[in-house]
Amino acid sequence: MNDPPPRRPAPRDDVDHALADVMKAIGAAARTLALQSAASMAGHGDLGRLAACLDAMPPDRLAEVAAAARLLSTEAEQALARRP
């Protein structure tokens, strides 16, 4: 017997997949911008705005920011230690 030809995805399937990819990219950009914003506020000593920014973050994003800050701190200290 002959198998039926493979089903081509409907155009809507392609659009749904593309939209999911766009949403993932927007999420990644939002996380990056949140981290950059928090780092900028911390660097400028704007503790009031920094606290408000951190308080507005969901717990998972706040955990990402904390982990990134620890890594940045460690790496910066090591870079300073390598300087004469």
Domain ranges of the chain: 19-82
Please tell me the pTM assigned to this model: 0.66
Q: CA distances (Å), 59 to each of 19, 37, 72, 81, 83, in order?
A: 25, 17, 20, 33, 36
4: confidence class by pLDDT, cuts 50, 70, 90 = confident
Span 31-45, pLDDT tens digits: 899 889 999 999 999
Tell me: pLDDT of 3 over 80.
Answer: no
